[in-house]
Amino acid sequence: MDIKHIAIIPDGNRRWAKRRGISKQEGYEIGIRKLGYVLKWCREKDIRMVSLWGFSTENFLRDSAELSMLFDTFSKKLSLALARKAENEKYGVRVRFIGRPDYFPADIRKKIKSLEEETSKYSKYQVNLFFGYGGRNEILDAVNRIAQDVKAGKRARVDERAFEKYLYTAGTPDPDMIIRTSGEQRLSGFLPWQAAYTELYFSKKLWPDFQKKDFMKAIKWYETRKRRFGK
């Protein structure tokens, strides 16, 4: 089976840093750097869409010092991504941010908007970065928007297809497979609606330790699955 859309929960950066006696910031920076390798591996397998969970709504509950460090790291990495215009053009990569970017500081919101606008013309590959994302929030926001449309007389009833148009991921196909690293065997609120029939693969490796051989092992596992979609 071909994979058209793969999603990843890159978990374990903090634990990896703690085990090596380095700072959380170093752990996160190494983890973010690993994302670039994953995109390369996906191109080699001709996987055209990749979704990466970068920051959940629950992550905003972390202490202020860690949040400040994370926001600083995100800002620097976004600046680097904006500077890679030639690379984005070479591979035809569209970058889309999914979630609630309004939760982030103004400079990050500005860079997110710029990166989306600059890559919107590309269509060969698409990278979805879930920032400020929570699955329950997504569904609640969708329900509230539907209620507003019903009240305004714009809609009388809602079926599955109509509901999906109110989600943050509107227009994006459901992932064929979700990979979560670090040994945790749960989705933690990642794509609860979209992952109803997604194949789930859990790796014991902490994210910075996740290598190409681990990625290819996951792909081979997926190829053994028989997807019935409830039929």
Q: Is 63 known to be catalytic?
A: no
Catalytic residue among 11, 13, 88, 128: 11
What is the C-alpha to C-alpha distance for residues 211 and 214, in angstroms, rounded to an integer?
5
SS (H, E, C) 84-108: CHHHHHHHCEEEEEEECHHHCCHHH
Whose tokens are 């979630």? That residue is 99
Q: Is 137 known to be catalytic?
A: no
What is the C-alpha to C-alpha distance for residues 194 and 35, in angstroms, rounded to an integer?
22
Catalytic residue among 59, 107, 141, 209: 59
Taking Cα atoms as reference points, which of 191, 178, 189 lies closest to residue 58?
189
Taking Cα atoms as reference points, which of 163, 182, 167, 129 lies closest to residue 7?
129
**DSSP alpha helices (H): ranges in 160-211?**
160-164
Contact call for residues 119 and 88 (beta carbons, < 8 A):
yes
Residues 6+ apart with CB under 8 A from 56: 130, 132, 133, 134, 188, 189, 190
Please identify every residue annotated as catalytic: 11, 59
